[in-house]
Amino acid sequence: MTLFPKIIFFLFFTMCLLSCKQVVYHYPQDRKVADETGMPNDSLGFYFSTFEPFDSSQYRFVKDTFWQQYLSTNLYALKEPVLYNDYLGKEQYRFLWLRSFHLPMVFTIANDNGKITLTTKKLDRQPRFYDGRYVDMPDMDSTYLAQGYQLTTEIDTLKSGKTEVVTVVKGDRKANIAYNSTNTLTKQNWYSFKKLLDEAKFWNLKPYDWAGDTDGAMWVIEAHTNQAYKYIVRQSPGGKIRKIGEMLIALSGLEEEVY
């Protein structure tokens, strides 16, 4: 083989290695964020950060304190670990499902040395992270009281100089786990789930893509492996992303309204 063909072969081989090389995620292991088991050290801390390789949509999401507080408040109440900070010893995928008119739920499918499990949790109420205020709505009073909230009343002075009585529901961030179940799955279940990820091209999806509507459901899917971490945030998605969540809901054995 002459020198020129050798050079061409070397360049081609090098390009193949570079193109096939997987980007390895470096878990930050920041003890200010969480301990070695992933449990957050601050009840007000956020569960999401940027990951490698960086995508500009991540910046928009992680700087949005409303969404960060909304998601993190639910995950904290569900006693879930932070997945981006440490590798927790097993490959797992978490689906946080926050519907406008239903209780918060989370589904986690995991592979721990060949043991496949699905853990499903549901809260008894939507934990509030901000104060809510409304005027003379007895039905709302009853709803919040039934959910365990403490209500107070205050006098608001309007721009016109008139006053009105308002009800205040405090953003106490509290909620209890009403349902917590772990099912053992088959390896075929695991392979089928991973196939759905591949079909959706999960690892190539933009992390944050929000339609902007107020109703619907927030779908947050996180992937946590020994070499990679990623999340995607969507609003009531369809297509192949929807199938990922639908499979976990079906495997849980629960009958839930999907939107």
> Model confidence at 23, in pLDDT bands (50, 70, 90)?
low
pLDDT in tens, 60-111: 899 999 999 999 999 999 999 999 999 999 999 999 999 999 999 999 999 9
CATH 3.30.1560 is held by the domain 34-127+173-252: yes
pLDDT in tens, 89-100: 999 999 999 999
Q: Determine how many CB atoms are found less than 10 A away from the CB of residue 171.
A: 15
Q: The tokens 């279940």 sit on which residue?
A: 189
Residue 13 tokens read as 């081989």
Instruction: Looking at the chain, list the stretches that DSSP marks H as alpha helix, in order from N- to C-terminal side.
Output: 3-20, 56-62, 65-77, 138-146, 187-199, 239-252
Residue 155 has pLDDT above 80, yes or no: yes
Q: Does residue 38 contact residue 83 with C-beta atoms inside 8 Å?
A: yes
pTM: 0.85
Domain boundaries, the chain: 34-127+173-252, 132-169
Q: Determine how many CB atoms are found less than 10 A away from the CB of residue 100.
A: 13
Residue 207 has pLDDT above 50, yes or no: yes
The phi-psi region of residue 148 (left if phi > 0; otherwise alpha if psi is between -120 and 50; otherwise beta) is left
